[in-house]
Structures are given as structure tokens and as C-alpha cells.
């Protein structure tokens, strides 16, 4: 059953109670019931987890919640299992023009070494986010190379 966030009205995505419990600060985590929770993915809404009118806000969560952060914020966590953030991809892409991080994480997933259920606030694998960030950053870095010639025409 799809639930909507009581704060912003956005449709939530499912998350296990055990994930929510792992993500919350001490004592708040004791308020998590054995029920189905939903995640509000709206970046501008302060609600992270909800069940009906019961909500847990960003301040209740013990890690920075990447889907509530501005894309330009740094550090910007992507892989909560191994600590890779956008800033790490950025530095590798700047230095080498490519990054082996997505493949390396994919290998960890294949080996069953990941702990996304308990470490990622979404309770899901980070690979989609990592690949999206590689695309976004590569595009931006390519754009930067072209900027000086384009910029000269201005003023
Ligand atoms: Zn919301």
C-alpha cells in the first residue's frame, strides 16, 4: 500500500523497520514499531521516515541523509557501506578522467559484502546513486573544460 508523507503529501517508498531503527539516533530508535515504514524522498521536506502520522525527521537520523541534501553540498555521501562520496568520485574523475569505484562496489555487492540494508538510509544498494553521480560529475567536468573559450565572449 502506497503511503503519502503527512508533511508534504509526496508518495513514499517502502523501508523496513529494522533499517529505520539502524538509522536513528539513540533513544529515538526505541520508538520504532514493528511496522512498515515509508521514506519521503522529497528533498525539501524534513520528514525522512513515516508511518501514518508518526514521523522521524532529518534530525533524528544519525547519518547525513543524501537524498535530503543539495547536489552541490560536500561532503556528499553516496556509498554508506564504504564511505565513498561525490567528492571522492570528483577527485578521481578530475585526476584520471574515469573512476573504477562503481565496478569496485559492484564487486562487493556480488561478493555479498555490502550492508546497505542497515547502513544506507534508503535501505537499498547505493550503486544507482553512484552511477548517477558519475554521470552528473563527468558531464560537469567536461563542461568545465569548454568553459574558458565560451566564457571569453562574455563582457
Ligand atoms: Zn515529505
The predicted pLDDT at position 143 comes to: 85
Q: Which residues 6+ apart lie within 8 Å of 23 measured at CB?
A: 48, 49, 61, 62, 63, 121
The predicted pLDDT at position 145 comes to: 64
Distance (angstroms) between ligand 1 centre and the Cα of 90 equals: 30
Among 34, 41, 36, 61, which Cα is nearest to 51's? Answer: 36
Distance (angstroms) between ligand 1 centre and the Cα of 39 equals: 8
Phi and psi, residue 4, nearest 5°? -110, 145
> Which parts of 24-74 fold into alpha helices (H)?
none
Which tens digit of pLDDT belongs to each residue from 6-33?
999 999 999 999 999 999 999 999 999 9
**Ion ligand 1 neighbours, Cβ < 5 Å:** 5, 7-8, 10, 40, 42, 45, 47
Min mean pLDDT across 50-59, 116-125, 137-146 is at 137-146
Instruction: Supply the CATH classification number for the domain 67-150.
Output: 1.10.10
Three-class SS state of 27: coil
Assign 154 a pLDDT band (cuts: 50, 70, 90).
Answer: low
Assign 121 a pLDDT band (cuts: 50, 70, 90).
Answer: very high
Enter the pTM of the model. 0.88
Instruction: Supply the CATH classification number for the domain 13-60.
Output: 2.20.25.270
Domain range list for the chain: 13-60, 67-150
The predicted pLDDT at position 2 comes to: 73
Distance (angstroms) between ligand 1 centre and the Cα of 88 equals: 29
Amino acid at each position: 500500500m502506497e503511503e503519502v508523507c503527512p508533511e508534504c503529501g509526496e508518495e513514499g517508498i517502502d523501508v523496513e523497520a529494522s533499517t529505520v531503527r539502524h538509522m536513528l539516533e539513540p533513544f529515538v530508535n526505541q520508538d520504532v514499531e514493528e511496522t512498515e515504514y515509508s521514506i519521503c524522498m522529497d528533498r525539501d521536506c524534513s520528514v525522512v521516515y513515516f508511518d501514518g502520522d508518526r514521523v522521524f525527521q532529518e534530525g533524528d537520523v544519525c547519518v547525513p541523509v543524501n537524498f535530503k541534501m543539495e547536489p552541490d553540498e560536500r561532503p556528499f555521501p553516496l556509498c554508506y557501506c564504504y564511505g565513498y562520496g561525490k567528492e571522492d568520485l570528483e577527485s578521481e574523475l578530475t585526476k584520471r578522467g574515469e573512476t573504477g569505484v562503481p565496478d569496485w562496489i559492484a564487486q562487493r555487492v556480488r561478493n555479498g559484502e555490502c550492508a546497505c540494508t542497515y547502513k544506507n538510509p534508503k535501505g537499498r544498494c547505493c550503486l544507482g546513486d553512484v552511477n548517477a553521480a558519475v554521470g552528473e560529475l563527468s558531464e560537469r567536468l567536461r563542461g568545465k573544460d569548454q568553459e574558458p573559450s565560451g566564457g571569453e565572449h562574455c563582457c
